[in-house]
Amino acid sequence: AGKGDFFGPLVISAVYVNDETKEKLKKVGVKDSKKLSDEQINEIAEQIKLICKNKFSIINLIPSEYNKLYEKYKNLNKLLSHAHSVVINDLLNKTKCKTVITDKFSKKKLEIEEQKNHVDINFIKETKAEKYIGVAAASILARNEFNKWFEQMEKKNLNLPKGSSIITEQKAIEIVKNYSTKLNEICKLHFKTLNKAKTNV
């Protein structure tokens, strides 16, 4: 969650699912997160955590951490590969899982696929992978964390739009004028939105 959003974090999540938890997750409404409202996502996320217990992993790269990592990788797909690999590795250490399904964002292998200790794992990468219950559940957990960040900003009287629309560009201009010192803490610095905002100030 947050890959295409100028403001806010990038959140990556992984969920371990077996036959038993799969059915339970379906019953609580787990499906493609794009078909759920923020309220539904926040409700279902709590149910996922109860059903899966500790067999999920979440990385919440708040903007300052995201920007630091982007400086290191200089490429969003490489950064995504790294973050996916961290949450997947965390779950592989907790479970005896042999199949890993991820949403396909690049033709290249994930960092973790290159590791010799994971040669027995079947890595499946597909576009629109949220048709799989585990990927859908992971996406809901990621979106939930993403939502929480915006709620925290609201409490600080900073109402920031999601996405990267005209509204986002207008807000970016306002932010550059008034909060330029905080940019690293609230937005992804490599987005073209920031350059546009700076030229319009």
pLDDT tens figures, 87-144: 999 999 999 899 999 999 988 899 999 888 888 999 999 999 999 999 999 999 999 9
pLDDT tens figures, 147-164: 999 999 999 999 999 998
pTM exceeds 0.85, yes or no: yes
Q: Quick one: pLDDT at residue 7? A: 96
Predicted confidence (pLDDT) at residue 179 exceeds the cutoff of 90: no
Q: For residue 126, what are the β-bridge partners?
A: 103
Torsion of CA 19, 21, 25, 27, to 10 degrees: 80
pLDDT tens figures, 9-23: 999 999 999 999 999
pLDDT tens figures, 28-61: 999 989 999 999 999 999 999 999 999 999 999 9
Banded model confidence at residue 81, pLDDT cuts 50, 70, 90 = very high
Q: Quick one: pLDDT at residue 71? A: 96
CB 99 within 8 A of CB 122: yes
Residues 6+ apart with CB under 8 A from 35: none
Q: Where would I find the beta strands (DSSP E) of the chain? A: 10-15, 56-61, 99-103, 122-126
Return d(Cα 118, Cα 134) in angstroms, integer. Answer: 20
